[in-house]
Amino acid sequence: MKKFALSLAATFLMSGSVFAAECIAPANPGGGWDFTCRQVARILQEIGLEKDLVQVTNLAGAGGGVAYTRVVAERNTDSNLIVAASSATTTRLAQNAFAGMTADQVRWLGTIGGDPGVIVVAKDSPFQTINDLVEAVKADPSKVVFAGGSAVGGFDHLKVLMMLNRAGFTDARKVKYIGLDGGADAITQTVGGFAQAMTGDISEIQGFLRSGDVRALAVLSEDRVAGFDDIPTAREQGLDMVAMNWRGFYVPKGISDAEFARWTDALSKVAESEQWQKVMADNGLAPYTLIGDDFEAWVAANIAEIQGISREIGIIQ
């Protein structure tokens, strides 16, 4: 009977049949998770994978923790459910911010785009390349202050620490970082000379880049970003660092492999669609596609790296 059920599910998948679904956005309407749910919900219907519009449910609280706990405790076998996630989700899980919840209590479906990280300096800064900045930190970390729009231990902070770690600077406690309330405040600190560099996402500071108030030393994406083609990637400059505020999903742990495959197939089709390409272009996102097993392996490695750095700087024990 079990083999028959799996066979039937596989036939259902290959036939391209539609299925009912719900997407939980773990925040109030208007934020990034809500945006991800609503755009993917619309595209699933437009490309014929969903007959009716996917229901979007906003379930805010604890930076995504309320939704995560609800899925684990109450909807562990719901095969028609996906939940929006991002770099903030895995960072909080790595730092034990979800009241004992762990990343292995769900299945990580995939990411299909992201907001590229960027390192910028004031327009008159002496640093011309990302390597200039890294070497300055290595020479005397007390003289280089980074500003970012997240708190100490947040993703903007971690981007810098991971970048420096990969460049061979491993004393994370010596890196000076100012956590501010958003990218605009971090830019102000950098332009004013209170910080030597700013770490953020390209979408939140694109206006400052275009106005010439700051210069970008590197974009932390796999390839150069359309519209900002003059900004080299860190990889181009010999620093193997990609840091994207990715947009993706997880699903309940208890669904079957066939049900998981149904979702990976659907998300792959969304990622390849003309509709999603337009969404990315219109909203400053860059391609960043990891789906199924590849994404689950990436999440495990990412969480391990964040935990290591977070222990070093005292965020977790």
Q: What is the pLDDT of residue 227?
A: 84
Strand spans (E) along the chain: 22-25, 55-58, 81-86, 106-122, 145-148, 176-179, 197-201, 214-220, 244-252, 286-291
CATH number listed for the domain at residues 2-114+244-312: 3.40.190.150
What confidence score (pLDDT) does residue 12 get? 37
Per-block average pLDDT, block size 10, for the chain (317 residues)? 38 45 94 93 94 92 96 97 96 94 98 95 97 98 95 93 94 95 90 96 87 95 90 96 95 98 98 96 89 98 95 91
pLDDT at site 257: 98
Query: What does the H/E/C string look like for 266-294?
Result: HHHHHHHCHHHHHHHHHCCCEEEEEECHH
- CATH class, domain 116-237, is alpha beta
Every domain of the chain and the residues it spans: 2-114+244-312, 116-237
Whose tokens are 């150069």? That residue is 224
Tokens representing 122 are 């004031």
Say what the pTM is: 0.85
State residue 53's pLDDT score: 83
CATH topology identical between 2-114+244-312 and 116-237:
yes
Number of H helices, E strands in the chain: 11, 10
Q: How far apart are CA 33 and CA 25, in angstroms?
A: 5
Model pLDDT, residue 18: 53
Check residue 282 and give its pLDDT.
85
Q: Burial, 256: exposed, middle or buried (Cβ in 10 Å; 0-12, 13-18, 19+)?
A: middle
Helix, strand, coil share of the chain (percent; to 5): 45, 20, 30
Please provide the DSSP assignment of 224-262 as one string: PPTT-TTSPBTGGGT-----EEEEEEEEETTS-HHHHHH
